[in-house]
Amino acid sequence: MFKKDPVQIVTFHSYGTANHLYIKGRTIQDEGIDLTKTGFLNLLWNSWKRFETDKVKNAKLILKLADGRTLETVSDSQGYFLIDAMIENLLPLTDAEGWLHYSISFAEEIKGRKIQQNNNFKGEILIPSEEAKFGVVSDIDDTILHTGLTSFFKWAVIKNTFFKRAEKRIPLEGAAGFYHQLHDGKSGSDCNPVFYVSHSPWNLYRYLEVFLQKNNFPKGPILLRDFINPFGKKPPRGEKPQKQKEILNIMKTYPKLPFILIGDSGEHDPDIYIEIAEAHPERILALYLRNVNHKRKMIRVKGLFKDYETVPVLLVENSKAAVAHAREMGFIQ
């Protein structure tokens, strides 16, 4: 009989306010994925383990803040949990960059399973500074990380995601520096929050987190989507994409903060961003869309923005053009 892997709580970088916690994570078995391993078979095995996750459903959890206050929650049928709660006086618990640190643990033993890390798992959420002048919401795939979503049959996506280590993936040139300039803002110390939103599934969270860290992108919440059954039925007609829901929830959480949206011309970013800008023109400072070098898609996107005047839009070939425009608009030094 095979020995069962230990169980763990994976916490996702999320966000909140001085009196609102919005914390996401997942209770799963520890598959022992080693992101430093090389070689075709190791990479393939790691990729398989990411998507063959053994979730721990209906697990009771206890979250503890640094001042001793606690909250309870329960993981769902897929092991995910969400704490969306109003709780006062959180700012004194944040560090200089606005990150609130917490610990979370299983409230009771999981029958027949060992719990990793002495049942003490760490997490962080971002509470943006009141001095922030704007927020940045950025896509990941083909915006800061070459993924290949426009490739034939998505073969480039498969090759890049399954057969390349996170630290070996090459970011799009100049992107990290540009994002740090936006984070620092006009004064150089604005501490503007940066949110990373992707259509990638939560199974790739650690992979993308390592990529962002290794390539020196500003630390920020990473918001992905559930990946329950890729071959299941399509979402109900008219339902908004998960990425769009996440952006709208961020804007709702910070009603006084305007935003810059950054994406690419390859998939659905232009349509999602236009819809958001049309509904909230006073909240969107600019749209930056990177050219993914796909002629037909670029023609379509240029057509969308040909006479568009609601908010400033820039279709860019590289980060230098975006930096120049952001400086001209007064977003950065």
Tens digits of pLDDT across the chain (333 residues) = 344 678 889 999 999 999 999 999 999 886 554 555 554 445 444 444 444 467 889 999 999 999 999 999 999 998 999 999 999 999 999 999 999 999 999 999 887 778 877 899 999 999 999 889 999 999 988 788 865 444 343 434 444 444 444 445 456 788 999 999 999 999 999 999 999 998 888 888 888 888 899 899 999 999 988 655 444 455 566 678 888 999 999 999 999 999 999 998 776 788 899 999 999 999 999 999 988 665 666 667 766 777 788 999 988 888 899 999 999 999 999
Q: Exposed, middle or buried: residue 309 (CB in 10 Å: 0-12, 13-18, 19+)?
A: exposed
The pLDDT, as a whole number, for residue 178 is 96
Residue carrying structure tokens 């100049």: 174
The pLDDT, as a whole number, for residue 37 is 54
Q: Return the closest-CA partner of residue 124 out of 245, 26, 25.
A: 25
Q: Which residue type does 28 have?
A: I
CA angle 125, 190, 251 (to 5 degrees): 50
Tell me the C-alpha distance between 160 and 204, whole Å: 12
Count CA atoms closer than 13 A to 87's CA, side-chain side: 21
76 alpha carbon, distance to own chain's centre: 21
Q: How many residues does the chain have?
A: 333
190: left (phi over 0), alpha (psi -120 to 50) or beta: alpha
**Which stretches within the chain are classed as H helix?**
40-51, 155-162, 175-184, 205-214, 242-253, 269-279, 295-304, 319-329
From residue 206, how far is each of 33, 66, 127, 279 by CA, in Å? 10, 24, 21, 33
Mapped onto helix, strand or coil, the DSSP state of residue 321 is helix
The pLDDT, as a whole number, for residue 32 is 54
**Which stretches within 163-284 are classed as H helix?**
175-184, 205-214, 242-253, 269-279
Mapped onto helix, strand or coil, the DSSP state of residue 71 is strand
- At what angle are helices 155-162 and 40-51 packed, to 10 degrees? 100
CA angle 253, 132, 313 (to 5 degrees): 80
Total Cβ atoms within 10 A of residue 270: 23
Total Cβ atoms within 10 A of residue 92: 9
The pLDDT, as a whole number, for residue 199 is 83
The pLDDT, as a whole number, for residue 264 is 85
Q: Report whether 179 contacts 192 (CB < 8 A).
A: no
The pLDDT, as a whole number, for residue 235 is 56
Longest alpha-carbon distance in the chain:
66
CA torsion sign, 244 to 240 to 210 to 293? Answer: negative
Q: Report whether 190 contacts 332 (CB < 8 A).
A: no
Tell me the C-alpha distance between 217 and 136, whole Å: 13
CA torsion sign, 130 to 132 to 134 to 138? Answer: negative
